[in-house]
Amino acid sequence: MAILLGEILQSLELWLKLIKNPQPQPYVNPNLDPVLLVPGVGGSMLHAVDETDGSHERVWVRFLNAEYTLKTKLWSRYDPSTGKTESMDPNSTIIVPEDRHGLHAIDILDPDLMFGSDSVYYFHDMIVEMRKWGFEEGKTLFGFGYDFRQSNRLKETMDRLAAKLESIYNAAGGKKINIITHSMGGLLVKCFMCLQSDIFEKYVKNWVAICAPFQGAPGTIYSTFLNGMSFVEGWEQNFYISKWSMHQLLIECPSIYELMGCPNSHWQHIPVLELWRERRDSDGKSHIVLESYPPCDSIEVLKQALLNNTVNYNGVDLPLPFNLEILKWANKTWEILSSAKLPSQVKFYNIYGTSLDTPHSVCFGSGDKPVTDLQQLCYFQAKYVCVDGDGTVPIESAKADGLNAEARVGVPGEHQRILREPHVFRLLKHWLKAGEPDPFYNPVNDYVILPTAFEMERHKEKGVEVASLKEEWEIISKVQDDQSCTADKVCSISVSQEGANQSYSEAHATVIVHPDNEGKQHVQLNALAVSVDAS
């Protein structure tokens, strides 16, 4: 049945490709500096190339036949001699398609999906927006997809990125490149900056990191190792890959171990793995206690929990425990990342997500149902202790870049959907100078304060000095506030001061904020100051 559905799907995909009309390129600005988009974990389309006939099959992302494809083409084993995870299928090689100068692989991960498209849109909205600003694919707009199963410092990936930067630099006529990364892509680029610093400095002008887990995402990763991970949430996950199949894939992926975070990170609040356990005292009495394991100590828990984990491939059960060889590799990655230095000629910007409950620490079991066997942990539902963040990466981690940033701006939004936020688009447009510069734009608060009137009068007579001030502004916000007030807001302020020799000064000011009208808010300031010089 699954095979028949797969054949129907392939026929449907071909038909959809035939009826799609190419989108015309809008206005092109040849003066823009080139941009390279780098995705995070799971954010690159992957193809399997059959070694026998050279045929290509998209294996990430698919719906319907997704489980079968994942298990036959993407399930992997780690090779400690190379630091690379290799697919179990000896007849397949995993590659990233380079269509549209690398943009195809990071645009819509399943471009033929007719429903649930929100879950597979990655950089699509940003690409559309940047084309409106005048960026042109292959001239000033490029993408860098990669095999996200691999380590962020894998030499093969680092060499591909070096070649990509050189080719973009040449295609853009010798202009330096703006790199925009999302999520784990920030770790990959930071590794590259450490390992090939001369090439990074030669070709990169600005780097904008969005929702990067610079200090890891331990809450999410703890539960990933024990319970797996859903690629999408809600009803749509029924058409993709089960959490357990993802679990069996990710447990052999160096990139996931690298997302655990640096064991020597200086957290303001240390993330822990918590377990409700039954313990007996010296008298043999049973007690239920809550045990907390900080990052280093949690490794032993993960090791014991996954001690007998196996994966069935072609009818054979293969051991798949928590991989200490990968952990050793990941710790070396964090040593490299901790030594990162930003070249003086490169500007760095950091956008981090806020306003969502974000896993920080993870708890298994309860006072009523304690954990009695660590190997049963995989069957317990994780309960999170949350902090502020984007739902995946805590704010503290995202801000811990360790670099001399030009700006760090928090934007309310979910980890992936933040790539569609208008505030993010306006920040990028401002920083990349993709349009007429707006000296009145405030990137942090995302509004424009535009002075519209200024009058000041001053006169002095018989020791009394009087000054009056009238000033007006328009505050222009791109986001409409449905809860905005319909009446004027009035605020009055008075200050006074006594000086030497019976001198005296006082000032009165009134501020009127008028109701929002189509994204514009009018503000008036009227002030009067009187100073008496008794001498």
CATH of the domain at 256: 3.40.50.1820
Distance CA 319, CA 21 (A): 49
- What pLDDT does 236 receive? 59
CA distances from 204 to 34, 176, 503 (A): 10, 5, 60
Domain count, the chain: 2
Confidence of residue 258 (pLDDT cuts 50, 70, 90): very high
- The residue out of 444, 464, 493 marking a domain boundary is 444
Q: Report pLDDT for 16.
A: 46
What does the buried/exposed string (b/e) look like for 225-236 if buried means 16 or more CB atoms within 10 Å of the residue's CB? Answer: bbbbbebbeeeb
Considering the domain architecture, whether residues 213 and 340 belong to the same structural domain is answered as: yes
Q: Average pLDDT for residues 454-469, to the nearest whole number?
A: 78
Q: Point out the domain boundary residue: 387, 415, 444.
A: 444
Residue 180 in this model has a pLDDT that exceeds 80 = yes
Average pLDDT over residues 487-500: 77
pLDDT(478) > 70:
no
Q: Are residues 203 and 272 in the same domain?
A: yes
Strand-pair category, 347-354 with 407-412: parallel
Active-site amino acid positions: 183, 390, 415
| Percent composition of the chain: helix, strand, coil (DSSP 3-state, to 5) | 30, 30, 40
Residue 285 resides in a domain: no
The answer on 471 and 335 residing in a single domain is no
Q: Assess if residue 72 is contained within a domain.
A: yes
Q: What is the pLDDT of residues 408-428, one digit of tens each?
A: 999 999 999 999 999 999 999
pLDDT value at residue 242: 85
- 493 shares a domain with 361: no
d(C-alpha 74, C-alpha 316), whole Å: 17
My answer on whether 130 and 178 are in the same domain is yes
What is the distance between the alpha carbons of residues 410 and 445, in angstroms, rounded to a whole number?
A: 9
Q: Does residue 301 sit within a domain?
A: yes
Among residues 395, 418, 444, the one where a domain terminates is 444
Residue 437 lies in a domain: yes
What's the pLDDT score for residue 232? 64
Q: Are residues 305 and 340 in the same domain?
A: yes
Q: What is the mean pLDDT of residues 103-115?
A: 82
Q: Is residue 131 part of a domain?
A: yes
Q: What are the Cα distances from residue 353, in Å, to 13, 308, 376, 389, 505?
A: 35, 38, 34, 6, 47
| HSE-CB for 443 with a 13 A CA cutoff | 21
For residue 137, the model assigns a pLDDT of 96
Residues 425 and 324 in one domain: yes
- In what helix (H) or strand (E) does residue 123 lie, and over which residues does it extend? none
Q: Which H/E stretch holds residue 388?
A: strand 383-389
Q: Average pLDDT, whole number, for the chain?
A: 87
Lowest average pLDDT, out of 395-399, 431-435, 494-498, goes to 494-498
Measured CA to CA, the distance from residue 189 to residue 213 in angstroms comes to 12
Least confident range of 18-27, 54-63, 218-227: 18-27
Residue 523 has pLDDT above 90, yes or no: no
Establish if 215 belongs to a structural domain: yes
* CA nearest neighbour of 63 among 16, 20, 113, 106: 113
Residue 450: predicted pLDDT: 61
Classify residue 329: in a domain, yes or no. yes
Model pLDDT, residue 489 = 80
Give the mean pLDDT of 89-109: 95
**461-497 as b/e: b if 16+ CB within 10 A:** eeeeeeeebebbbbbbeeeeeeeeeeeeeeeeeeeee
Residue 459 in tokens: 């006169």
With beta carbons less than 8 A apart as the criterion, state whether 112 and 13 touch: yes
Regarding whether 412 and 468 lie in a shared domain, the answer is no
Domain co-membership, 411 together with 471: no
Please list, residue by residue across 126-157, b when 16 or more beta carbons sit within 10 angstroms of its beta carbon and e when fewer do: bbebbbebbbbbebbbbbbbbbbbbbbbbeeb
Q: Tokens in use for 533?
A: 């010089």
Q: What is the reported pLDDT for 8?
A: 43
Lowest mean pLDDT, pick from 34-48, 137-151, 383-397, 458-472 = 458-472
Asked if residue 272 has a cis previous peptide bond (ω within 30° of 0), the answer is: no
Spatial distance between the Cα atoms of 77 and 89, rounded to a whole number of angstroms: 10
For residue 355, being part of any structural domain is answered with yes
Compute, in degrees rounded to 10, the torsion defined by CA atoms 478, 479, 482, 485: -50
111/222 same-domain check: yes
What percentage of residues in the chain have a pLDDT greater than 90? 64
Q: Say whether both 35 and 81 belong to one domain.
A: yes
Residues of the domain holding 109: 26-277+290-444
Among 388-402, 458-472, 511-525, top mean pLDDT goes to 388-402
The arithmetic mean of pLDDT across residues 236-253, rounded, is 84
As a residue count, the chain comes to 535
**Can you state the angle between helices 185-195 and 155-171, rounded to 10 degrees?**
90
pLDDT at 2: 42
| 4: pLDDT strictly greater than 60 | no
Task: Answer positive or negative: Cα dihedral of 430, 432, 435, 437.
Answer: positive
Query: What tokens appear for 24 in the block?
Result: 């015309």
Predicted TM-score (pTM) of the model is: 0.84
Q: What is the pLDDT of residue 477?
A: 66
Same domain, 431 and 371: yes
Residue with tokens 């734009």: 441
Do 178 and 208 touch, CB atoms closer than 8 A? yes
